[in-house]
Chain A
Amino acid sequence: MSRTRAARLNRKMDRLKMLEKEGLLKSREGSRAVGKFLQNKLAVVGLIVFALILLSSIFAPLITKYDPAMIDLRSRLSPPSREHLFGTDKLGRDVFARVLYGGRISILVGFGGALGAALVGVSLGTYAGYKGGWLDKILLRVSEIFMSFPQIILVLLLVSILGQSLWNLLVIFTITGWGSVYRMTRSQMLSIREEEYVQALKAFGLSDGLIAYKHMLPNALGPIMVNLTLSTAMFILEETALSFLGLGVPLQIPTWGNILNAAQDLTILQEAWWIWVPVGLVISAFVLSINFIGDGLRDAVDPTQQG
């Protein structure tokens, strides 16, 4: 360790020693996890950015007076100005409004997909992980099949069968996403199964379902929650990609991906940067912030990390 770092550490320790002597550190009981999270500067920044974007989308009508679907051909493709903060697209719709309202759908789809996958994955993983045996073996193979399917093919298949809609997208995300949640829940169950309090419950003859869902699952939720946040980010990106390709949410409903869809046109790409750059930045910022929050959560909940 360099001299200056060592000196800085020494000063920090001296300060702690003094504070402890005065008894000032005792009240810091509260939640250690919350404290750890708030210490992580990136996580806090992520939380702020996330909240900012989320709240802007929810309170969109209060922020912008424009209707995202309103077509105004006279002001089509105009660059950012005082009237249109992000300019307009080729149908004259206000891009800023579209980004704000679009956030609602994108976040909903992302979170909804993650939630759907989590519900299926956790329900199956809890019981199968606890029981083991042939149920677990079969589900493991099935989840592998679902996970190894290239998602695009699956999407094309389902879109051709079910048509294109918001709900279908949620179904698709659930189908492709449950596998990894299942495996993660299952591995948590495998380790919790060896805990003595589980054996004690078995010694009382309590039913498997009660043991698995009521007593074991709450202890597995930590990593599952972290996974939920990170999956949301992933699904938002996937929705973006799919909508960009025109396979996601139908074009009339604004989503971040749909807005990007316009950039398929080379002229737009080159000459109307305000249509795709801002929304791209918003998506990146949002996804990054979720990732930082997820990392912060994971470190805060991890008891092995010293502070």
Chain B
Amino acid sequence: MRREQDVLLKIRDAQTYFPVQKGLFKRTVGYVRAVDNVSLDVYRGETLGLVGESGCGKTTLGKSILQLVPVTGGQFIYNFDGEEKDLRKLSKDEMMQARKRLQIVFQDPYSSLNPSFTIFGSLQDPLKKFGVKSKEERRRIIGDLLEAVNLHREYMNRYPHEFSGGQRQRIGIARALSLQPELIICDEAVSALDVSIQAQVLNLLLELKEKHNLTYIFISHDLSVVEYMSDRIAVMYLGKIVELAQAEDLFANAMHPYTQALLSAIPVAEVGRRRKRIVLEGNVPSPVNPPPGCTFHPRCPYAMEVCKSRVPELKTYLIDGREHQVACHLAEKEAAKFVQPVETAEVEKNAAN
């Protein structure tokens, strides 16, 4: 069931290709296809998990949404209180206003804060830029932000090195909240923290989402954490989305062979669950020279002839009334037996009616 009016961000055919330059004259000999024709919708109020291994493009996709990397193609249509505009086509002023709504929390607590500034110094400039003129007012707002992440107001006078990794991460979250955003990209926000601290930060993120009506795009390589946090999960491989479904559906009924292998590879902290592992052969291919057809086919235990030549489309299937998207020829073949793929255009037409 599509909720057309609740879509906060529509990504269509996003492409972020980085040129590879060689030689004295820096000729472009190829492209790293970090984000390769990604289309997805982000609904208001949801947590969309973005998961995959290194080089799959999830972090680049996150940064592309915020236009922090040079995006080479596609549309990022954001819903500004009902008005839809492409983030790539905004004027400088419009983009500046847009930045209030889109924020990001980074991975590395040791490089996410400026070591030469106090916390107040680090957090006050964005407030200044967006019109908070008086220093008192800024102090008050920053104090409130720190309390919102369970830190004392007085901490704003301290330097980053006086804080632990978990505390720094919370300060990073406070910073992301400072302009009252709508959408926050959590880019491996807990990956660098000790496991017992991860729980603190994860629970904080959930709490803040409730309180401030936030939408999260939660990027991580740790599927256990993503599954805990997310409503829907998108699995990426070599710059493409290979599967996208509700969290429970993904786990119970993974349709893409890569997702299945990923799920079986993850060690689970429960004794007696020594399951049969699907061990993938080979390594992730180079993103400069991806294999033809389905980029996963050289490692796929079920590869068919068609997989070597034709790129599978990300098709939407309705299973038990819920949407489940997969880009796989085998899934297409199997699914044709009992469920019809739902064409995107048809659904949008139905929803509009």
A interface, CB within 8 angstroms of B: 195-197, 199-206, 210, 214-215, 218-219
CA gap between A195 and B106 in the complex, in Å: 10
B112 touches A196 (CB 8 A): yes
Instruction: Determine which of B95, B99, B102, B111 lies in contact with A197 in the assembled complex, contact meaning CB atoms within 8 Å.
Output: B111
Bound: A204/B106 CA distance, A = 14
Provide the bound-state CA to CA distance between A215 and B118, in Å: 12
Chain A residues near B63 (CB-CB < 8 A): 199
Task: Choose one: A203, A205, A219; the contact of B104 (CB below 8 Å).
Answer: A203
**What is the CA–CA distance of A196 and B63 in the complex, to the nearest angstrom?**
12
Q: Of the candidates B68, B115, B125, which one forms a contact with A206 in the assembled complex, judged by CB atoms under 8 Å apart?
A: B125
Q: Is the CB of B111 within 8 A of A195?
A: yes
B106 touches A196 (CB 8 A): yes
Q: Which residues of A contact B108 (CB under 8 A)?
A: 196
Given A215-B114, A218-B116, A219-B114, residue A200 in contact with residue B104 (CB < 8 A): yes
- Supplied contacts A196-B112, A197-B122, A204-B99, 8 more A-B pairs, CB within 8 Å: A196-B108, A197-B111, A201-B126, A202-B68, A203-B104, A204-B126, A204-B129, A215-B117
Contacts of B88 in A (CB 8 A): none
Q: How would you classify the secondary structure of chain A's contact residues: helix, strand, loop or mixed?
A: helix
B47 at interface by CB-CB < 8 Å: no
Q: How far is the CB of A36 from chain B (nearest CB, A)?
A: 16
Chain B interface residues (CB < 8 Å from chain A): 63, 66, 68, 95-96, 99, 102-104, 106-108, 111-117, 122, 125-126, 129, 172, 175, 179
- Are B103 and A203 neighbours in the complex by a CB distance under 8 Å? yes
With beta carbons under 8 angstroms apart, the residue of A202, A206, A218 that contacts B129 is A206
> A214 → chain B, closest Cβ, in Å?
8
Residue ID in chain B nearest A219 by CB atoms: B116
Tell me which of A196, A201, A205 contacts B107 (CB under 8 A).
A196
Expressed in whole angstroms, the Cα–Cα distance for A204 and B124 within the complex equals 11
Complex: how many Å from CA A196 to CA B176? Answer: 13
A196 touches B111 (CB 8 A): yes
Shortest distance in angstroms between B162's beta carbon and chain A's nearest beta carbon? 11
A215 CA to B102 CA, complexed, in Å: 22
CB pair B129 A205 closer than 8 Å: yes
Minimum CB–CB distance from B171 to chain A (whole Å) comes to 11
Inter-chain CA distance A219–B117, complex, in Å, is 10
CB of A170, distance to nearest CB on chain B (Å): 30
Q: Is the CB of B66 within 8 A of A203?
A: yes
Would you give the shortest CB distance from B93 to chain A, in whole angstroms? 10
Alpha-carbon gap, A135 to B104, bound state (A): 29
Min CB gap A111→B, angstroms:
25
Once bound together, how far apart are the Cα atoms of A206 and B124, in whole Å?
Answer: 12
**Contact call A200/B129, Cβ cutoff below 8 A:** no
How many angstroms from the CA of A206 to the CA of B95 in the assembled complex?
Answer: 11
Q: Can you offer 26 A-B residue contacts whose CB atoms are under 8 A?
A: A197-B111, A197-B114, A197-B122, A199-B68, A199-B106, A200-B112, A200-B175, A201-B125, A203-B66, A203-B68, A203-B99, A203-B104, A204-B99, A204-B126, A204-B179, A205-B96, A205-B99, A205-B129, A206-B125, A214-B125, A215-B117, A215-B125, A218-B114, A218-B117, A219-B115, A219-B116
> What is the bound-complex CA distance between A230 and B102, given in angstroms?
46
Residues of chain A contacted by B122 (CB below 8 angstroms):
197
A204 and B111 form a contact (CB under 8 A): no
The reply to whether A204 and B125 form a contact with Cβ atoms under 8 Å apart is: yes
Closest-CB distance, A43 to chain B (whole angstroms): 24
Chain B residues near A202 (CB, 8 Å)?
A: 68
Q: List residues of chain A with CB within 8 A of the CB of B95.
A: 205
Minimal beta-carbon separation of B283 from chain A (angstroms) = 26
Nearest A residue (CB) for B126: A204
- The CA-CA distance from A203 to B106 in the complex, in Å, is 11
A200 touches B99 (CB 8 A): no
Q: Which residues of A contact B117 (CB under 8 A)?
A: 215, 218
Residue of A with least CB distance to B178: A204
Q: How far is A218 from B118 in the complex, measured between Cα atoms in Å?
A: 13
Closest 3 CB pairs of A and B: A218-B116, A204-B126, A196-B106
* CB of A237 to closest CB in B, whole Å: 33
B113 A197 Cβ-Cβ under 8 A: yes
Q: How far is the CA of A199 from the CA of B103 in the complex (A)?
A: 11
Asked, given contacts A202-B68, A203-B68, A203-B99, whether A197 binds B112 with beta carbons under 8 Å apart, the answer is yes
A205 to B179, CA, bound (A): 12
Query: What is the chain B residue whose CB lies nearest that of A214?
Result: B125
Q: Which residues of A contact B104 (CB under 8 A)?
A: 199-200, 203
Contact residues in B for A219 (Cβ distance below 8 Å): 114-116
A201 to B107, CA, bound (A): 15
Chain A residues with CB below 8 A from B172, complex form: 200
CA distance A99 to B26 in the complex (A): 55
Cα A169 to Cα B199 in complex, Å, equals 63
Q: How far is the CB of B92 from chain A (nearest CB, A)?
A: 9
A204 to B176, CA, bound (A): 9
CA distance A199 to B112 in the complex (A): 8
Smallest beta-carbon distance B272→chain A, Å: 40
Interchain nearest-CB distance for A134 vs B (Å): 12
Closest to B96 in A: A205
Residues of A within 8 A of B111 (CB): 195-197
Instruction: Give Cα A103–Cα B125 distance, bound, in whole angstroms.
Output: 45
CB distance from A125 to the nearest CB of B (A): 17
